[in-house]
Structure 1
Amino acid sequence: MPPSSPTPSAFTFPVAARYAGMASSPLKDIFALAAKPDVVSFAGGIPDPSLFALEDIAECYDWVLTHQGTRALQYGVSEGEAELREQAARRLSRDLATDASQIRITSGSQEGLFVAAEALLEPGDVVLVESPTYLAAVQAFAVHGARMVGVETDDGGVLPDALDRAIRLHRPRLVYLIPTFQNPTGRSMSAERRAQVAEVLRRYDVPLIEDDPYGELSFDGHRFAPIAAEPGMSGRTLLMKSMSKLMSPGVRIGWIRAEGPILDTLAVAKAAISMQSSVVDQLTVARYLETKDLDAHVRRVIEVYRARRDAMAAALTPVLPAQAHVTRPEGGMFLWAALGEGYDAQLMLDDAVAAGVAYLPGWSFYAEDPDLSTMRLSFVTHSPEVIEQAVGRLGEVIARQG
């Protein structure tokens, strides 16, 4: 006989105040939507697994386990394995001179954000973020007691004058930005805007966390230099990078570039959180970067993503209300649609899921004063044909609310 279900315990664990009310999280809900077999989900930034370089990755795992097996399965160092730090520094040096000693390995850039928050934030600190911004960064900062303040943006990213005013008013501990193919909007800052933002940060001596998981997914081949590469910014910036969108999210490898004493603090924080990232995964990623052509793989992925971006943009145009505003990113993974007054994307979601399509309501990406008419749609997971059909069903749901 199968075992019976356990009887629920009457005991309730006391929960830390910073997690009070967090029975779920937007990220958990994203993956739940993506897992529904009868729903075409645009909710999560989920790479198409058919595009993974599976044979190359498997070959690298085999090589590591054959030639470095006992080391790969042993404890490692909190700073990260030397080979991977060398490879990370080499890639970063294309835009910003970097030494392996300036790299700290993390289990994806998401852990990087948590490590940075652990190292930098005290309860009550203010963090300035774009409005809207990456929801999991808000969560990572919030559980460390920080208060997020949204800074006004336009289609070119955060507004330098608004950032200046916010710094003078709130005296923030740090600023968090995603300058390239931003999550959730897909927007990118021009070189001029980056220079203006850097000038504001230098003037007030405010540190920057620059998150760049999407920067290499450029559809026109243009690579944006990070704000960290602006004069006087490398030493005041924690630059976050990730292999999740380039190689595989399941590998969970990313890194932080930093300079000076904060590097030691980051290593201590990392050790307290997870001791070290998986050594076998680190060595495999290092082997992949050393022996395989990541840039060629990314070019193949970009061709597919560009076609899917075009398919989604074309399908959305006729089904959105006249007042709607939609971004058209030149890279990355996301479109952002603001439907306009009278629409509530959260209220529409149940009807959309019933119609077999899901998106992420935009309110969760705002630190404050959310635009309830907004939605984030990821175009990278599905074929153009599936995108066209699903957006058509979404259009019928939007029309009913209008």
Structure 2
Amino acid sequence: MTVTTWHPDLSLYPGPKYLALTRALREAIRAGELPPGTQLPTVRDLAWTLQVTPGTVSRAYQLSTQEGLLAATVGRGTFVAARAPRLGPTQALFQERDLKSEPWLVDLRSPQLPDVGQGAAFAAALDRLGRGMSAGLDAAWIDYPTQRDEAPLRAAICDWLSDRLLGAVTPEDIALTHGGQNALLLVFLCCLRGDRPVILTEDLAYPGIRHAARLARAEMVGVEIDAQGMIPEALEAACRRHGAQILVLTPEAQNPTASRMPAARRAEIMAIARRYDLQVVEDDCYSIAESSLPSLRALAPERTWYVGSLSKSLSAALRFGYVICPAGMGEAGRLTAQHGFFALARPVSDLVLDLMESGAAEMLRRKVQAAFSERLQAMVNALGGFELSWQPGLPFVWLPLPTGWRASTFARTAEAEGVLVRQADEYALIHGRAPHALRIAVGGSVPLPRYDQALATLARLLRRPPSDMAV
């Protein structure tokens, strides 16, 4: 059955219209007004009926799908989900786009690593590994990998992180993972207890955090942030109200706002974490090199899980990440990894170890950083006349839109002119509020003339008075 007459009164619900529509959907489904299996109107049809933007309806459908109220099927539409709970994720981690079939688009949604010779470095490393196999070392690639085999690579990670102020770290404190997303899930599985545990994070946060929380059957609660990061008073209030077990933070490079938490704020936050006995996840996957500020782990080594990966500095294809566990918890982290996947695939761990021991990894990291810095400077030059938040070397910027622009309208307009950007509401939690802002990523793999043209397009759209176009 396809519903064609449903027309909720959004004025009954306070707050943003996408949250009003989400609540209206929830109440209609629970009241039986929209029974299981009902096909909802398309985004554009319902937007026309309710006189709202398609982005409003799309966001409401997305949030309702995350709650398990709706089910979206590619090619068929959006339906009211069956009442039985779903046995797994209800939404993709990110929207994949086949840009080969849309070659006119420049994708600035997520940072793309520049090609600075990774392929040649990997080929040389694999050649060295191949020569080792010919000398009789190939048995290691036949048996199950073990945590014990990873000890040399954990030591190499300690050297890799020597430019960070992490406090005392040994190879025994480290667990290796399949990228940063897998590292978050590993920490959640280590720490969370009870039927419905609570995780606190910034009220604008990387979507992967909430997806990992959902897999761990945890509830996410957003805590207000300002230009210096999470607000201590808001954190303390959330601790009193929710009894959370874990706090997830991005102090070096807040994703998506690009802010950096100063030392005094870090100390305040960690004092609260101690007072309420929170385990703290310090997500450092995006941070720039050679930080001069003490990490959260240095401030509270007994409760901080430091998460990193090579996806933003070397290669996202390797799916290589790591967790520096709290003091004395390294074995617990490695056992959780062992229960999940034994250990990293031996070809991956051997390749990464070779790259680090040969010096190739450090050379590539410096080249990637230099390329990102050059392209970031081009972005700042093109968009610097607007309210822009950025850090040197960081592969994205945060752009609150000029008065009159809606984020959904700007994103659709930019896409129509060949540029993909990410709206702030993609980083908002289910019940959170999103400003009219964009996160714009550095396109390291985009040919430079097209990259410059895309930035010029965004600057032109930002300068264009909203009154000149239908918003």
How does the TM-score come out when normalised to structure 2?
0.73
Judge which range, 30-39 or 309-318, deviates more: 30-39
In the alignment, residue 153 of structure 1 is paired with which amino acid?
I
Aligned pairs (5 A) from 1:2-401? 17=86, 19=88, 21-22=90-91, 24-25=92-93, 27=94, 29=95, 32=98, 36-48=102-114, 50-67=115-132, 68-78=137-147, 81-92=150-161, 95=165, 96-121=167-192, 122-215=194-287, 217-218=288-289, 222-230=291-299, 233-259=300-326, 262-292=329-359, 294-318=361-385, 325-339=387-401, 342-367=404-429, 368-381=431-444, 382=446, 385-398=449-462, 399=464, 400=469
User: CA offsets per residue over residues 296-334 of structure 1, 9 Å max, x none?
Assistant: 43333222212211211222245x5xxxx4212233211
CA displacement, residues 96-153 of structure 1 (integer Å, 9 cap, x when unaligned): 3211111111011111112222222344211111121111111111232222111111
Q: Deviations over 1:170-199 (max 9, x none)?
A: 221110011112222222112222222222
**How many angstroms apart in 2 are the aligned matches of 1:73 and 1:224?**
44
Structure 1 contact 337–374 (Cα < 8 Å) conserved: yes
CA spacing shift, 1:81–1:266, aligned 2, 3 Å? same
Higher radius of gyration, 1 or 2: 2
Hey, what's the Cα distance between the residues in 2 that align with 1:146 and 1:370? Answer: 20
Whether the 8 Å CA contact 2:173–2:324 is kept in 1: the answer is: yes
* 8 Å Cα contact 1:343-1:401 kept in structure 2: no
CA change 1:234–1:300 in 2 (3 A) is same
Gaps of 5+ in 2: 1-75
Q: Is the 8 Å Cα contact of residues 34 and 41 (structure 1) preserved in structure 2?
A: no
AA partner of residue 51 (structure 1): V
Instruction: Note the alpha carbon deviations across 1:71-116, whole angstroms, 9 max, x for none.
Output: 1343212576121111112334553321111111101111111222
Counterpart Cα distance in 1 of 2:344 and 2:370: 32
Change (3 A) 1:252 1:14: farther
Q: TM-score, normalised by structure 1?
A: 0.84
Q: What is aligned with 2:38?
A: none
Please state how far the C-alpha of 1:295 moved relative to its aligned partner.
Answer: 3.7
Q: CA deviation at 1:384?
A: 5.5
Aligned residues between the structures: 378
Between stretches 271-280 and 170-179, larger displacement belongs to 271-280
Aligned AA (2:437):
T
Task: Give the letter for the 1:203 counterpart.
Answer: R
| Aligned-partner Cα distance in 1 for 2:295–2:371 | 25
The code of the aligned residue for 2:231 comes to L
- Give identity over the alignment, percent: 24
1:142-172 CA deviation, whole Å, 9 max, x = no partner?
A: 2322221111112221122222222222221
Distance 1:327 1:33 in 2: 28
User: Which one has more relative contact order, counting CA pairs under 8 Å at least 6 apart?
Assistant: 1
